[in-house]
Amino acid sequence: MPVISRFYGIVIKMYFRQAEHNPPHIHVIYGEYLAEIDINTGEMLVGDLPKRALKMVQEWTHTNQAALLDIWKTQNFVELPPLE
């Protein structure tokens, strides 16, 4: 699972088996926390994150939504800039 971005101890990854993993989402690792976040809505689909980390991931996802959906559709890995 390629790393898409890293910031503030948060690691964002994406699987590349589109047919097995819908809706389009990212995987988030933050310490011992794991979560899946819907790219379109920013909702947490599975897992758990502290509120502050979730808000940062949602902001980052919203900012990079078009690029994330492009990666999901084309399966062409691109590293995206971190949240600043």
pLDDT for 54 equals: 98
Residue 55 placed within a domain: yes
Count of structural domains within the chain: 1
Note whether residue 48 is domain-resident.
yes
In a domain, 66, yes or no: yes
Q: Provide the pLDDT for residue 21.
A: 65
- Does 62 map to a domain? yes
Instruction: Please give the share of the chain, as a percent, with pLDDT higher than 70.
Output: 93
Amino acid at site 37: I
Q: Is residue 49 part of a domain?
A: yes
For 63, the domain range is 37-70
Q: In angstroms, rounded to a whole number, what is the distance separating the alpha carbons of residues 39 and 41?
A: 6
Q: In angstroms, rounded to a whole number, what is the distance separating the alpha carbons of residues 7 and 21?
A: 24
Indicate if the pLDDT at residue 37 is higher than 70: yes
Q: Hey, what are 8's tokens?
A: 């503030």
pLDDT, mean over the chain: 93
Q: Is residue 30 part of a domain?
A: no
Tell me what pLDDT residue 77 has.
87
Please give the pLDDT value at position 15: 82
What residues contact residue 60 under an 8 Å CB cut-off, 6+ apart?
5, 7, 12, 82, 83
Per the domain annotation, does 43 fall within a domain? yes
